[in-house]
Chains A and B, each alone.
Chain A
Amino acid sequence: MKHQLFLAWKYLQYHWVKTTILILSIAFILFIPLGLNTLSDKGSKDLMARAKSTPLLIGAKGSETELALSGLYFKSNSLEAIPFKTVTEISNTNLGEVIPLNLEYYVKEFPIVGTASSYFKFRDANFKSGRAMAILGECVLGSKAAEVLGIKVGESVISSPKSAFDVSGSYPLKMTVVGILNATNTADDEAVFTDVKTTWVISGFAHGHDNVTETTADSLLLSKTKENAIASPAVLTYNEITPENISSFHFHGNPDAFPVQAIVVNPNSKKDGLILRGRFENRTDNLQIVVPTTVMQELLDTVVSVKNLLLLAAISIGLATLVIVTLVFSLSIKLRSGEIHTMKRIGSSKSAITNILGLEVVLTLALSLVLAVVLVLLLNVFGPYLIKIFIL
């Protein structure tokens, strides 16, 4: 048997091109249904875990899926803002913990999440180093953001403009990193957390500058009376909040109207959650409340339908490939009639020849299976990344 295995292996080695093509074809046919299943299971598990840990989300009326994905994964390129007074209003109902999310800005590719310090407790996030943000202009980095940006506690990050053409909108703000979170394998790893008020400084709703009544040069004042001073736009606003200038920071306008993109609500009880949802049913303003698990389940149901279709296609292609592979082997035996005849003439028994040919098939199938399993394992590792790219 050992010699027969040796001969079969040598034959496959000699015809490596044909063997490789066969192995790849069979491996991919095995991999597609197995991989799809793995990816779908892994994706479902991760998506549902994040959704389950976020009981309710409030945002502007529109796509529920977009609100859920934005609230859970901090993607909000087109999510309409709602006024901050909604946060206060829901907080005053005492039905649960209310956490605002402002999702307008980035530090390079990492989203800035303008929130409250209670977010970390809510997510059960632990600090690898440092602490939660306490003062305006401080921020906390997710583990991956800190690693990629190469930033440690005590160093700074700068917010990026909304877009290359955002020349008059947001103000790049230098924020001091006061904490780095432990890795959680969630979207939190890639976020830059700061207080919601700090994101309003970036927006320009709040800013700090020299006292226009006392220290600003007259050349920078267009007019000045006892009750009013009109400063020239040339009066520079601070782009970093320091202990020296923090007292000069002030809001322009009513903070109740300042933007947040989503609000996480963690109700005190199931009953309180239902009461809150009931209240939103009757609202006529531009607000909606969603249950992330329901939204994500709907999204996953769609994914499962697509997966089933793909599985059906994969099984059909698999059967066709099996027929082709059978044809390839039978044609191969026919083409190798001279070789088989030689083996007989040098004394090889019929069963030995059958064994050699059979082992060639078994080896090809075994190698295909190994390759398919390796691919599935790789998918298991890189699956979340692929889901992030293709689904989120």
Chain B
Amino acid sequence: MTMKKISLLVLCLFSLMACKNDKKTSETEQAMITSKKPVVYVSNYPLYYFAERIGGNDVDLRFPMQDSKSIANWQPQSDTVVNMQAADVVFINGASYEKWLTSISLPESILVNTTKNVEEDLLDSGHVFTHSHGEGGAHEHKEMASTTWLDLALANKQAEAMATYLLSKFPEKKAVFKANFDKLSEDLLELDSKFKAVANKKPNLSVVFSHPVYQYFEDAYEINGRSLHWEPDYQLNHKNAHEIKHLVADKKFNYLIWEGEPLEETRAKLEKMNIESIVVNPIYSVPENSNYFKEMENNLKQLQLIYEE
């Protein structure tokens, strides 16, 4: 074989390899382009619902704490944080909700606090504890109430903050995101007005909440209430019964609003004391066969039981 022939052969081989590589590259690029959806992380279920409604199939929505038993006390693993760092945006609730945020490393540029623009409307949780090291400089650990999504007007503003960010960052999907948000906003505000109308029917009615998680709900719909620190699985013992008797004498109430379905035994005992138990779901976690909006509609029905009786 002459030198010329060998050279030609080598040239042909190189050309074939180059063609193969080009094809491979273009296939990879194509895959990247087609699968390139904005990666959106959310920190609680209501935000997940809003993001799903606004983004639809045009966002890669991730809710890493979805399977956590206690979303509020969730602590991320480093792998999760690394994935979050690569996200296009991490929507957080704010209002002291994300306690894990102090112990992880996330760039400020991808964090969007959905209650940032409504800071003046945020409420104290009523839970303040201070400690100091030595006599000087007590450090106050003041917490805001977190369940902002139970006030549908605030929830709408949170959804608006999410939509505004997505619209500005991904203008190519502006039409879809805007239309989706407008529909969501309409639904939220309509339900909000229904809540307001219900609570207005008995402005002097007092209720008791089983747990202090309804601050925004009470404030938005002008519900006169007082909070206990009871869990739905609590047995109504002598001490609890004594506590509730004192409250009845003081506040004259007939309704106890629970976070979840109370024990049947507790419900029966309370009924004997002329106190009816109803459930208003604070929607911390993903509801089974339901969603945020349906749960809020259920909450409205529960309120109607009291106020339209």
Contact = CB atoms under 8 A, between A and B. Distances in A.
Contacts of B130: 227-229
Nearest to B100: A247
B78 A229 contact: no
A97 to B, nearest CB: 5
A112 to B, nearest CB: 14
A134 B78 contact: yes
Contacts of B138: 228, 230
A117 B135 contact: no
A213 interface: yes
Contacts of A233: 133-134
Interface in A207-229: 212-213, 222, 227-229
Given A230-B132, A233-B134, A138 B75 contact: no
B56 interface: no
B256 to A, nearest CB: 25
A91 interface: yes
Given A117-B85, A227-B128, A230-B138, A135 B105 contact: yes
B129 A197 contact: no
B81 interface: yes
Q: Which of A87, A134, A229, A241 has the most CB of B within 10 A?
A: A134
Contact of A99 (B76, B106, B107): B107
Contact of B104 (A134, A230, A253): A134
B19 interface: no
Nearest to A100: B108
B247 interface: no
A232 interface: yes
Interface in B114-171: 116, 128-135, 137-139, 141, 168
Contacts of A330: none
Interface string A356-376: 000000000000000000000
Interface string A74-118: 000000000000011001101001111000000000000000111
Q: Which of A99, A117, A233 has the most CB of B within 10 A?
A: A117
Interface string A250-276: 111100000000000000000000000
A231 interface: yes
A367 to B, nearest CB: 46
A229 B139 CA distance: 10
B109 A118 contact: yes
B110 to A, nearest CB: 8
B90 to A, nearest CB: 12
B290 interface: no
Contacts of A250: 102, 141
Interface string A142-178: 0000000000000000000000000000000000001
B103 interface: yes
B82 interface: yes
A230 B135 contact: yes
Contact of A134 (B81, B134, B141): B81
Contact of B131 (A97, A99, A135, A212): A212
Contacts of B78: 131, 134-135, 138, 178
B103 A138 contact: no
A235 interface: yes
Contacts of B168: 94
A252 B132 CA distance: 9
A27 interface: no
A120 to B, nearest CB: 9
Interface of A: 87-88, 91-92, 94, 97-100, 116-118, 131-136, 138, 178, 195, 197, 206, 212-213, 222, 227-233, 235, 241, 246-247, 249-253
6 contacts: A97-B107, A97-B109, A99-B107, A131-B82, A197-B102, A246-B75
Given A132-B105, A136-B105, A230-B138, 18 more contacts: A88-B108, A94-B168, A97-B109, A132-B85, A134-B81, A134-B82, A134-B85, A136-B102, A136-B104, A206-B102, A212-B131, A228-B132, A229-B132, A230-B132, A241-B103, A246-B103, A247-B103, A253-B139
